[in-house]
Structure 1
Amino acid sequence: MPLLHSVHHVALICSDYPRSRHFYSQVLGLRVIAETYREARDSWKLDLALGETQLELFSFPGAPPRPSYPEAQGLRHLAFAVDDLDAAVAHLESHGVTCEPIREDELTGKRFTFFADPDELPLELYER
């Protein structure tokens, strides 16, 4: 039996909680599972459903910005699988989100593009 089964969640820290909450729940359409305000930390935690994986969105006062884009050590980017890349790009652009030109993965032949969340976290759409 393998040690790891799947990714349970990915955690993100945002600079502007209402703006990022809107982006992930309304623009990207992730379903809100739970939303908790943690008074002791003056911090919000928003749990969002992405298939069987959860995305956790946190707000922390005074969190430092990402040091560089996108080649800082640590998580490089978060990729979302989509069935129709052109439709997904059109949806994002209708919400004012700029996407890079669509490229083709030379190893798989699949198409993909990058865009950014409100804090410039690099996100990718990868066509299945």
Structure 2
Amino acid sequence: MPTGRLEHANISVTDPERSAALLMDMLGWKERWRGPSMKYGRSVHVGAEHDYIALYTGDHVSGGYTKGNPLNHLAFTVSDLDAAEAIVKRHGLEPFGHDDYEPGRRFYFFDWDGIEFEVVSYE
């Protein structure tokens, strides 16, 4: 039986540098790569050694997504939920949906393009 894990997700954003700064600040990630995309536009990749988020943009990316169309949300785990929430606020975004149920505490926020993120702590 094969095994696997998620290698990356590619999401379209209007300002990849702004989105990269938030993710690197909140998750302790590093920039892995940046440059032109294969067909058009450009990408900034941020993450860890094996997994990352590709933040893609181009003239055709307008933002203004709506939840569940087609993406419901992306979720990240953090070791310090309160510190992560403070970082989200410092980046000018508004956390909501604070919940504490098994298996952990969490909150949600929408980024500048309307993409919903969930931040969870199992600590």
Q: TM-score, normalised by structure 1?
A: 0.77
Answer yes or no: is 1:93 the counterpart of 2:89.
Answer: yes
> After the TM superposition, which residues 38-117 of structure 1 pair with which residues of structure 2 at under 5 Å, given as runs?
38=37, 41=40, 43-50=41-48, 52-68=50-66, 70-72=67-69, 74-105=70-101, 108-117=102-111
Answer yes or no: is 1:125 the counterpart of 2:119.
Answer: yes
Offset from partner CA, 1:45-69 (integer Å, 9 cap, x none): 111114631111111212354552x
- 1:109 Cα deviation from its structure 2 partner: 4.4
Q: What is the aligned residue count? A: 122
* AA in 2 matched with 1:48: V
Q: 1:7 to 1:122 in 2, by over 3 A?
A: same
- 1:82 Cα deviation from its structure 2 partner: 1.1
Question: Unmatched 5+ residue regions in structure 2?
Answer: none
Q: TM-score, normalised by structure 2?
A: 0.80
Partner secondary structure for residue 76 of structure 1: coil
> Aligned-pair RMSD on alpha carbons?
2.4
Looking at structure 1, the residues matched to 96 and 49 of structure 2 have their Cα atoms a distance apart, in angstroms, of 25
Question: Unmatched 5+ residue regions in structure 1?
Answer: none
Offset from partner CA, 1:65-123 (integer Å, 9 cap, x none): 4552x232x32100000122122112222332211142123xx2421100122212000
- 1:26 Cα deviation from its structure 2 partner: 4.5
Looking at structure 2, the residues matched to 39 and 55 of structure 1 have their Cα atoms a distance apart, in angstroms, of 17
Identity %: 23
| Structure possessing the higher radius of gyration over alpha carbons | 1
Partner secondary structure for residue 102 of structure 1: strand
Tell me if the contact between 1:81 and 1:127 (Cα under 8 Å) persists in the aligned partners: yes
